[in-house]
Every structure is written in structure tokens, then in C-alpha cells.
Chain A
Amino acid sequence: MQGTGPAVCLGNDVDTDLIIAGRYLRTKDRSVWAEHVLEDLDPALAPRIRGAIIVAGRNIGCGSSREQAVVALREAGVVGIVAESFARIFFRNAVNVGLPVIEASVACTDGAHVAFDLDSGWVEVDGVRRPARPLSPRMVTILRAGGLVPYWRSCR
């Protein structure tokens, strides 16, 4: 599983309330979440993350279990998330909706060229390659299937 895109840098402890606020949760319309994604952190971010790779610091996705957070990022066109560490429910949610998550320690500058390869276990920022912490085999399978729903369908 691979991806490339320009980096959009986020800091530490970006919680799920910041990714998608509670006031936008009462709908099944995914485009609403994509439209308001990261709004409370910086309203200018949503258009910039299409086709991009988010490079965050520690503990991204802490807080609420709301899956709308990862769905919002995926629907807004994020290619993958690289972070030093992830909150555990967010991490599991991302895999379940087919959004690649890469646990690695990299320096970030906005717009830097990021590439990752989950099978070989590395991430590269402007040509500098770093190892990524391997995912469990089950998570790799789910991610490769495109998420838990397609994985489930393929198992039946």
C-alpha cells in the first residue's frame, strides 16, 4: 500500500473535536463532514488537504470515538496520515474506513513531498526515508481491502 502527496503539517494532540466538531455530527451526509473538517483548528485547512498527506505530531485523534473524524479526512481527499503517535480508537477507525495510517517520526514542512509504502514499512519526506512502525497483519489486510466494510463483504 503506497501513497504520495504534499505534506500538510499539524501539531500535537489534535483531538477529534477539532477534526470534526460535535455540532456537525447529526447527519449521515458525509460531504458535510468533509466541508467542515479541521474547521476549529484552521478553516483554511479543508481545501488544502485534498490529495495531501497529513503529517502530525503526537497523539493525533485523541478524544471522542467519533468515526466521522476519519471519514471527514478521507472524504476531504486525504491520502494518508503520518504521525509520531495516534490515539488508539482513531487509529483503528482510520484502518476501518480504509485511510492509511503511518506511525513514524518525521520532520515536517508544509508542501514537502511525502511518499509512503506500508508494505515495505517506510515513509519519505523530501527524499529522507524513515522506518514506519509495522501494522498488525490483520490491519494490513483490512486496509488493503479498502476498509472493514469491503473486507467483511469479501469474507462472506
Chain B
Amino acid sequence: MSTLSERVLGAPAGAYVDREVDIAFAHDGTGVLTREALREMGVEQLPHPERLRLVFDHIVPANTGTTATLQAELRGYARASGIDLSDAGGGICHQVMSEGVVRPGMVVVGADSHTCTLGALGAFATGVGATDMAAIWASGATWFRVPETIAVNLTGRLGGPAEPKDVALACVARLGMEGATYRALEFVGDGASGISMDGRLTLCNMAVETGAKTGIFYADAVTVRHLAGHGVAASPQAVEEPRYEREIAIDLSGIVPLVAVPHRVDTVREAEDVAGTPIDQVFVGTCTNGRYEDLARLARIVRGRKVAVRTLVVPASRAVLARAIATGVLADIVDAGCMVAPPGCGPCLGAHEGVMGEGEVCLSTANRNFKNRMGVGAEIYLSSVATAAVSALAGEIAVPEVA
């Protein structure tokens, strides 16, 4: 019996395989270097442009003339070589890829470390660097070492105010920042089927925070329904019971709101223990928590009230934004005094649009709180959307109470 990674890659753990890839994408940041590497390699013709994607998300719209020029060059390259481009405003690469592009059983590589997000759809999805991506664009294939797998056995159901982000933080805390290096995390167990697609994307997203090569869920009824919503037909993957390298169990019913404190993702405390910490900004968004369910959760909590600190909301994609407009979720968010920025990464990587000042504190729904990431001398706490929402209203870290 094989793990899901072994099944998709077609070889046992530890083997080195050469594999054609189904989807290979880069973004405005890594795409520039991929293009440079292709130039240095002397590659002019790309054999499989239909498998390739460029997504402008990291600094959109461009913040300086230099950024704009780099993006213009890359835009021209995409057009000339037949690569599908999701231009500024379309959303974060991982989110865009989850909206009907990636399907169960695919081999997906992205020039971004959070490509593991897409394992939520039953694909083998992992991040590579820009030069690797150039070789993949030039050949349509790459090599992999098939990873050993750690099973994350989810039991029970989330209750109270806890949400999938709290599970992701619990998982990172359990494994540590390198607890799963070179490994795959396979999310299994009765509890897995009860987690929505948005929640699965959040969980797989943070797999890389444990060093993992990917996080992966079996495609099931939830996956099939999600893809049908994007006009894509898919079938569930048969669940096997392979021998895992290691297994950890997480009882979902025992999960409470958690917060990762500066400057490590695996230093996780109960929200209760850091309640009262003063904050200067709340940021709801990113490839971890900028999806529709997240915005709806935020709206539910802030509806009819006013936030007490500056609160920035960045939808993960245009589809997310459009749905939030259609359902009135966005109006609730704006009425509560939040700022809304165009779909993309926002200030997550500290380059623009909400960068923090020296000594300032941000409570963010992102996945990384590395030192100086969102601004030199700033501190980042990471939490769920519900925790971010009640904290925005309180002006300090607070604990959500109801689901």
C-alpha cells in the first residue's frame, strides 16, 4: 500500500524519479529570475506552454517604477511564449491554482515555497527555486526524491471558536520548524472529511512551516464538490492504509484558539495566554487565510461594530472578492472600518501596502512571523481569522468566544 505521494509520483519513498509535471507556475517575483535563467540557458522555445502559468501577486499593483518595469518585461514574455498570465488583481498564485486549475493526482510545481497548499486537492504539489523552474519550463519535467510520509491523523470535529488555522498552528507546534523536513504530511482520519476545502488549503499551506515538501489530503466528496463549483469534473481517490514513517494524532475537538508569537512559527501559545498584548495593525489575508470562508468569518464578527486598530483585509483572489461583494460580506467589513486592498499577497512579504514601522506589532493571519518580515523592527503574531477579528475590535489580542 502506498502513501498518496508515492501513488502520485509512481515510486516508493526514497526513490529518485524523473517526472513530467502537469502544472508549473511562477509569480512576479520568482518569474523574473526564471526568465533570466532561461535566457542564460539559451532556451527560446518552451515545449509545453499550456502547462505553464505566471501569476502576478507579490507586489501588485507595482509599487515603484523598477517593479513596474520588471513586471512589464515578464508580461511581454508571457504573451510572446504563450504562457497563461493571471495579471495583477487576479489573486495569489496558490489560490488561483486552487480554483479549477489543479486537480487530484496531478504533479504540480511552483516557484514559491507555499506551493504545498495545493496538496489540499489530492495533487502532489511542491515548491522549487527559480532556476529549477527554468529547467522545468524548458523540458516539461523534473526530478524528485519521493518523500517519506508523516500521517497527521485528525479525529473529532472542531468546536467552539477554533478553526482550521488553529489546527495548522497546533500541527506546526507539535512538529517544530524542521520536524518534517524532506517529508510529506498526509492529513488523514475521520476528522479530515469534516474539513472544508478552504480549511484544507490552510492546513496544507502551513505544511512547509514544518519543513515538509508537501501537505496532502485525499480527494473526496468535498474536493469533487469544490472542483465542480469551478466547472471541473473530478473523482475521489481511494483511501489506502499505508505504513507511514510516523504518525501524529490531533483531536480536533480539543483545539482552542492559538497564536504564534514572534519570531518563530513554532512558538505557539494559547490565545488566552497572550490576550491583552497591544497591537498596531491587524492583517487578514494571504494564501493561508484570505479565502471566502475567512472573509465571511471576519464579517460575522465585525458586523455592525467598529475596529479599534487599523485593519487591512486582502482577499486571496478576484473570485473571493467577487463572492464577498455578492454576499454582502465585503460591505460588512468596510462598514466596520477595515481597509480593503486588491487581491494579492499584500504586506505579507514586507515589500509594500501595509509594511510595519519599527517597534510596531501586527496580528496577522499569514503563515510566517520571521524577524523583520513585515518591516524592520516590527513584530508579527500569527492567528486565526476569528482571533484577528475580535482583536481588531478590541485593539489588543483577544480571544474569540463563539463559533
Do A and B actually bind?
Answer: yes
Min CB–CB distance B380 → chain A (angstroms): 11
Interface presence of A124 (CB below 8 A): no
Known: A13-B264, A148-B132. A88 touches B211 (CB 8 A): yes
Contact string, B313-355, partner A, CB cutoff 8 A, digits 1/0? 0000000000000000000000000000000000001110000
Interface presence of B33 (CB below 8 A): yes
Binding site of A, secondary structure by majority: helix, strand, loop or mixed? loop
Instruction: Indicate if the CB atoms of A25 and B29 lie closer than 8 Å.
Output: yes
Instruction: Indicate if the CB atoms of A63 and B42 lie closer than 8 Å.
Output: no
Contact of A67 among B66, B129, B135 (CB under 8 A): B129
Chain B contact-residue range equals 35 or more
Stretch in A46-54, A90-98, A104-112 touching the partner: A90-98
Instruction: Indicate if the CB atoms of A96 and B177 lie closer than 8 Å.
Output: no
Contact string, A139-156, partner B, CB cutoff 8 A, digits 1/0? 000000001110011001
Give A residues with C-beta under 8 Å from B. 13, 15, 17-18, 21-23, 25-28, 40, 58-59, 62-68, 70, 85-89, 92-93, 96-97, 136, 138, 147-149, 152-153, 156
> In whole angstroms, how far apart are the Cα atoms of A70 and B70 in the complex?
21
Min CB–CB distance A21 → chain B (angstroms): 6
Instruction: Indicate if the CB atoms of A26 and B30 lie closer than 8 Å.
Output: no
24 intermolecular pairs with C-beta atoms under 8 Å apart: A18-B370, A18-B372, A22-B349, A26-B64, A28-B70, A40-B376, A63-B368, A64-B349, A65-B111, A66-B29, A66-B129, A67-B30, A67-B129, A85-B181, A87-B211, A88-B211, A92-B132, A93-B129, A96-B131, A97-B131, A138-B16, A149-B37, A152-B43, A152-B135
Residues of A within 8 A of B64 (CB): 26
Interface presence of B75 (CB below 8 A): no
Interface presence of B138 (CB below 8 A): yes
Query: From residue 1 to 57 of chain B, which have CB atoms closer than 8 A to chain A?
Result: 16, 29-30, 32-33, 36-37, 40-43
Instruction: Indicate if the CB atoms of A17 and B372 lie closer than 8 Å.
Output: yes
> In whole angstroms, how far apart are the Cα atoms of A68 and B177 in the complex?
21
Min CB–CB distance A85 → chain B (angstroms): 6
Instruction: Indicate if the CB atoms of B32 and A96 lie closer than 8 Å.
Output: no
Contact of B177 among A13, A86, A153 (CB under 8 A): A13
> In whole angstroms, how far apart are the Cα atoms of A149 and B351 in the complex?
29
